[in-house]
Structure 1
């Protein structure tokens, strides 16, 4: 399966272009989190890695403040749900 940019809303295409400009470690971390993401767009990780801090600042991920379990919960590509779905399918 290939990423179908035609079906994405314009603002999500812009987010995809921003993702392509990330450093390799940031892209790898984002890809790792995308593959761990559940149907609600949430991924769990035991700790906050340095690449995650950059992804948080750039608003690709956000800490789920209401999560009370072990480790940390993150919203992944919260502003680009269609892009997240397509990327998740690519990862399976």
Structure 2
């Protein structure tokens, strides 16, 4: 899957997890998403990462836009695996 440009220079670079059926005791019969956004500007910002098993897909989406080394800031909403376990690889 490719990154999705939500607005000018704002991209969804997250992942779809079709196999996850329970998320914090909420049933997810059709899976769920790990949302991550890349804002490209004078300073490039990544908002959240994805669950570790989706790191390769996440990096592929980011790399389609810019070199991950060009990310200046990372914003993590909270430290749980769905937001941060893939962060070290970014």
* Same fold per superposition (TM over 0.5): no
Normalized per residue, which structure has more helix? Answer: 1
Normalized per residue, which structure has more strand? Answer: 2
Higher relative contact order, structure no. (Cα contacts within 8 Å, ≥ 6 residues apart)? 1
